[in-house]
Amino acid sequence: MNYPVWDVPIVGSAWVIGAIASFHVLVSHFAIGGGFYLPIAERKALREGRADWLEVIKGHSRFFMVLTAAFGTVTGVGIWFAIGLGSSEGTSTLIHNFVFGWAIEYCFFLVEVTAAMVYYYTWGRVSDRMHLAIGWIYAGSAWMSLVVINGILTFMLTPGAGWLGVAGTGAEASQFWHAIINPTYFPSLALRTLICVSLAGIWAFITASRIDGASQPQLKTDVMRWTSKWLIPSFVLLPLCFAWYLYNVPAENRGLLELGIKTIGQGVFTQVTRAAVVTVMTSATICVIVYLLAWRTPLGFNFGHACALLLLAMAATASTEYAREMLRKPYVVNQHMYSNGTRKSQVDAFNREGYLTRSVWVRPEERALWQGGDSADPKVQAAHMARGELMFRGQCMACHTVDGYRSMRTLLQTRDRLAIGNILTMLHENKDDSPYKKFMPPLTGLPEEITALGDYLNQLVHGAGSKETPPPPQAAPVPPSK
């Protein structure tokens, strides 16, 4: 899975992945929480003899089936497509280490989709007891898919000492269970389960809001208030589970959030803190709206209100997933692989032998021109700039764009060639006191490769006329290989 870098203009590949993932999480977590909502609501209606409520639940099950089976499945495939192009090395690591886990999850997924369709199409065709059993089969298989996927997601932040001890040796699969049941597995599973329950209520408001309150006031009132209660577990338990989660996050990663909280008074927000603040604000707003409208005045709660709640839930979901991703910086797999696909174990070799030495994306004629020649020769100059562009694409474009999100032109527009070179040297040395160390991978490569990158960035920002070029930087000392 060694694709060339996926260049997505303006937004960058990371935002494409994030946008698809946010929609997918909003629906996939509904698929889990809604799986519990339906049989519990059906059992309540049967116990109370509420035929009118059963009709509402039947309609909701149709909406549920179409949304989760169609949209959820398509966005799930979209995530695989996007991460395979945007982070091919990271995706390859997950596949090779968790192929057994993916297979297990896929089996649960097949049962889940089948049960959802059987549940809807057997309304009134099987006994009530059998129909409820089908609903519980769906709920169990949907939650079990979360049980598996949660381990893979949390692995990227906390792979665990056991797995890191064999990473790169070819024996990673021997630590499968240690990687899955990692330090943040259980708190994350509790958090996601609570979110699933809340989203079951949020999505159910879409169906409940369409009940005609004028002709069926009691039905709408009962359904709205019962649905509102689905947010109570999250409102009470989420802060406790979040504290449990943070307690198990490595101190250096947790520090990104703590730094932003400590400096709120000075306005120095970290990106993680900003995302966390959005999550808290949107979640609190949802609770207030549900209490004031859905609970206290259920007959006045309309479809527009339900859509507004869904948009707030979307913002909370996106910001939460963004914060989770940012906690891993500068890694995609913590302490193993950096966000640009470079493994931590490869840094010394790239600095000693060259980042582009074994790259399959270098044309033979370019490699030949790098070995020497007249620097005034246009072909040599073009090859030099091509070398810098390959360095940029390989080590920078996972997070940066030319013009757009984290634009290089915007970030470097006030810096001359010397200043650009100083930044690259700082990234290359990757010292503990570097302000970039917590957020950006170390810049790897030979001195001439780093010089080519600096010249390319300078030309990118200031145009081809800028010729202020410093001497090649000295490579950081590399410990002898063992």
Domain boundary among 303, 323, 338: 338
pLDDT of residue 377: 77
Q: Which two tokens stand for residue 230?
A: 């689905």
Q: 283 vs 190, 193, 226, 243, 322, CA distance in Å?
A: 17, 16, 19, 16, 15
pLDDT single digits (tens) 158-176:
999 999 999 988 888 889 9
pLDDT single digits (tens) 361-417:
888 888 888 876 666 778 888 899 999 999 999 999 989 999 998 899 999 999 999
Is 337's pLDDT higher than 70?
yes
Residues 397 and 286 reside in one and the same domain = no
pLDDT of residue 474: 45
Is 473's pLDDT higher than 70?
no
User: What's the pTM?
Assistant: 0.89
Gap between the Cα atoms of 290 and 315, Å rounded? 16
Please provide the DSSP assignment of 389-452 as one string.
HHHHHHHTTTT-BSSBTTBHHHHHTT--HHHHHHHHHHHHH--TT-TTTTTSPPP-S-HHHHHH
For residue 436, what pLDDT band results from cuts at 50, 70 and 90? confident
Number of domains in the chain: 2
Residues 94 and 198 reside in one and the same domain = yes
Residues 285 and 374 reside in one and the same domain = no
The CATH number of residue 357's host domain is: 1.10.760
Ranges of H-type helices in 290-377 = 303-326, 347-353, 364-370
* Cα–chain center distance at 74: 17
pLDDT single digits (tens) 277-300:
899 999 999 999 999 999 999 999
Residues 333 and 454 reside in one and the same domain = no
pLDDT of residue 261: 59
Residues 370 and 334 reside in one and the same domain = no
Range of the domain at 371: 344-462
Which contiguous run of DSSP H or E holds residue 332? strand 331-333
Residues 62 and 202 reside in one and the same domain = yes
255: in domain: yes
Classify residue 342 by its DSSP letter: -
35: in domain: yes
pLDDT of residue 269: 52
Residues 286 and 317 reside in one and the same domain = yes
Domain boundary among 308, 338, 368: 338
Cα angle 322, 326, 328; round to 5: 130
Is-contact 351 442, C-beta < 8 A? no
Count other Cβ atoms within 10 Å, centred on residue 348. Answer: 15
pLDDT of residue 216: 96
Residues 6+ apart with CB under 8 A from 181: 151
Mean pLDDT of 78-93: 90
447: in domain: yes
Residues 331 and 458 reside in one and the same domain = no
pLDDT of residue 438: 84
Ranges of H-type helices in 49-155 = 51-66, 73-86, 88-121, 128-155
482: in domain: no
